[in-house]
């Protein structure tokens, strides 16, 4: 690097920046209470801590490394540019959610889902429903933003805590996204690593297949806590009655989701497919007699419940009956149940709209600014190269790739960067690596990129994936994280299998063909 544009950081400097950034972010976001009475953290939204971490990193780059401000600024802009498509998808998903709630699509899915799904099998069903939809569409985002929202409502009706439902929705959605040949990440990882698409998918079956079975077992076990014996049928009845009072419930509500899934299966790009589903829902709202101003308002600001919101503020059952025009809708139901359900539905359904996504988009942009500075100044590159120096075994190589992907997800804030940057850096290491005279097939690199880069992105609150899923599902990232079992167990399973030599594709030094180690 030329003198005019500064120098690369030393390992000590890069580590110092990483530690300080981590402290700034964790102190701003966390809220840990110790037995002594001390408290660590401010429990803030991640926006401001990330901003100050970006300021500190830029100061280190300009004043200590001698980087020109213009270079650092270009790094910020380049960092943001990476996620512009994700920002556009977020905006269209916001409009879609508002339109789908207003037109009765989401309420219809919740209404009939409460009839079909039992509490004890709900988590297992959510896992596999989302896995199948995501496999079919190749998109975890579309899955979370459509059937995921409906499952959140069904879970609330069945008495399942929202973070638990969100964790299994995300586990299923990311299994499908990771394994689908239609997924962008499934195609990107082998392209970066130098492997073939279907070799890559077959390699992932060794690690992700067993992990899915483990998570399915956890879902079945946890479902026992929500048995039919504990189910309050009167609560479900109130939910369905309240939905029918506020929305038009009909089988036509299944058409927009089917349209979006069909277009995705036909490989129509995400944004046109989402817009088509949104416009169909808009047409349904207009046909139901909703005014155009209200329709446009839902697209912009999200849906705002009307009767449900008023019921949640009613003082007694007489006021409730007045709101439903005297119909015996809640006959026999207690006022406490009606109030509790109306408050829950008001929180669940008051969402969506382009404006509703702006806070999430702002979080993503600030995180990507930090990531752009980290990349431009070379802090992350120096740390990753230090990791590579110590690699002597296949276990160490795979573990180093995983650590690099997780660091990249945390400090560059984007899933694609967590695949591309470690993939580019470790590809030569995989090509040169030899253990007992044999090399490792590049499909193991591409698999490892997905096992860690794709799956852990949604576990970081300020990563594009974490921010998106938190926004559309209405659950903070750190709340659903403990229940997103597939996302953090898959890397563990992959490491264990690598250590045992299972599912590793070894190749002879001078040959292209090899055999998979099995035990």
Per-residue pLDDT of the chain (519 residues; tens, 9 = 90+): 444 578 999 999 999 998 999 889 888 877 766 666 777 777 778 889 889 999 999 999 999 999 999 999 999 998 888 778 878 888 998 899 999 999 999 999 889 888 888 888 999 999 999 999 898 778 898 889 888 999 999 998 888 999 999 999 999 999 988 998 878 888 888 988 888 888 999 999 999 999 999 999 999 999 988 876 566 677 788 888 888 989 999 999 999 989 988 887 787 888 898 899 999 999 999 999 999 999 999 999 999 998 888 888 887 887 877 777 655 566 666 788 888 888 888 888 888 899 988 988 888 888 889 888 998 999 988 988 887 777 778 899 999 999 999 988 988 788 888 888 888 888 888 888 777 778 888 999 999 999 999 999 999 998 889 999 998 999 999 999 999 999 999 999 999 999 998 988 888 755 444 444 444
Q: Are strands 505-508 and 438-440 parallel, antiparallel or unpaired?
A: antiparallel
Tokens of 283: 């047409």
Neighbouring CB atoms inside 10 A of 8's CB total 14
How far is the C-alpha of 32 from the C-alpha of 483, rounded, in Å? 20
| pLDDT tens-digit series, residues 432-475 | 877 777 888 899 999 999 999 999 999 999 888 999 999 899 99
Judge whether 409 and 460 are in contact, CB under 8 Å. yes
pTM of the predicted model as reported, rounded to 2 decimal places: 0.80
At residue 165's C-alpha, the angle toward residues 123 and 306, to 5°, is: 125
Judge whether 428 and 388 are in contact, CB under 8 Å. no
Judge whether 227 and 120 are in contact, CB under 8 Å. yes
3-state secondary structure of 37: coil
Exposure on the CB side of residue 242, measured as CA atoms within 13 A: 30
Question: What are the boundaries of each domain within the chain?
Answer: 384-516
Neighbouring CB atoms inside 10 A of 285's CB total 25
How far is the C-alpha of 185 from the C-alpha of 194, rounded, in Å? 14
- Edge-to-edge strand order for the sheet containing 514-516? 438-440, 505-508, 514-516
Tokens of 228: 């039919």
How far is the C-alpha of 278 from the C-alpha of 299, rounded, in Å? 9
Q: What is the dihedral of CA 153, 157, 160, 163, to 10 degrees?
A: 30
As to burial, measured by CB atoms within 10 angstroms (0-12 exposed, 13-18 middle, 19+ buried), residue 434 is: exposed
């Amino acid at each position: 690097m030329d003198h005019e544009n500064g120098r690369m950081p030393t390992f000590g400097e890069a580590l110092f920046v990483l530690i300080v950034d981590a402290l700034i972010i964790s102190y701003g976001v966390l809220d840990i209470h110790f037995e002594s009475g001390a408290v660590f953290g401010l429990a803030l939204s991640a926006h401001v801590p990330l901003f100050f971490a970006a300021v500190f990193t830029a100061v280190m780059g300009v004043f200590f490394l001698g980087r020109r401000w213009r270079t650092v600024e270009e790094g910020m802009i380049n960092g943001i540019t990476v996620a512009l498509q994700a920002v556009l998808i977020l905006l269209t998903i916001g409009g879609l959610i508002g339109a789908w709630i207003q037109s009765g699509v989401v309420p219809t899915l919740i209404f009939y889902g409460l009839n079909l799904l039992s509490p004890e099998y709900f988590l297992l069903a959510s896992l596999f429903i989302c896995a199948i939809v995501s496999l079919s569409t190749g998109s975890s985002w579309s899955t979370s933003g459509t059937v995921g929202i409906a499952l959140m409502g069904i879970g609330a009706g069945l008495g399942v805590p929202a973070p638990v439902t969100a964790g299994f929705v995300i586990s299923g959605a990311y299994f499908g996204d990771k394994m689908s040949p239609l997924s962008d990440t499934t195609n990107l990882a082998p392209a970066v690593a130098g492997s073939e698409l279907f070799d890559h998918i077959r390699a992932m079956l060794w690690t992700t297949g067993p992990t899915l079975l483990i998570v399915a077992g956890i879902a079945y076990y946890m479902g026992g806590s929500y048995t039919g014996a504990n189910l309050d049928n009167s609560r479900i009845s109130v939910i369905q009655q309240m939905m029918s009072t506020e929305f038009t419930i009909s089988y036509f509500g299944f058409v927009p989701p089917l349209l979006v899934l069909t277009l995705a299966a036909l490989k129509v790009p995400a944004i046109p497919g989402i817009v088509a589903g949104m416009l169909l829902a808009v047409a349904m709202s207009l046909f139901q007699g909703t005014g155009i101003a209200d329709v446009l308002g839902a697209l912009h600001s999200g849906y705002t419940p009307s009767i449900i919101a008023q019921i949640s503020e009613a003082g007694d059952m007489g006021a409730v009956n007045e709101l439903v025009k005297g119909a015996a809708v809640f006959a026999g139901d207690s006022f406490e149940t009606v109030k509790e359900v109306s408050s829950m539905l008001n929180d669940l359904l008051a969402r969506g709209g382009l404006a509703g996504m702006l806070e999430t988009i702002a979080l993503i942009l600030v995180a990507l600014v930090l990531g752009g500075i980290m990349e431009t100044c070379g802090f992350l590159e120096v740390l990753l190269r230090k990791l590579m120096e110590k690699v002597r075994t296949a276990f160490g190589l795979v573990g180093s790739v995983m650590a690099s992907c997780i660091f990249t997800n945390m400090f560059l804030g984007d899933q694609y960067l967590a695949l591309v940057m470690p993939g580019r850096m470790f590809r030569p290491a995989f090509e040169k690596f030899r253990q007992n005279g044999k090399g490792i097939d590049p499909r193991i690199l591409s698999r490892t990129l997905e096992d860690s880069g794709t799956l852990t992105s949604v576990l970081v609150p300020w990563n594009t994936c974490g921010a998106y899923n938190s926004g559309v599902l209405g659950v903070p990232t750190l709340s659903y994280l403990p229940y997103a079992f597939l996302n953090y167990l898959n890397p563990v399973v992959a490491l264990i299998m690598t250590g045992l030599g299972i599912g590793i594709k070894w190749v002879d030094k001078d040959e292209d063909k090899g055999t998979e180690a099995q035990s």
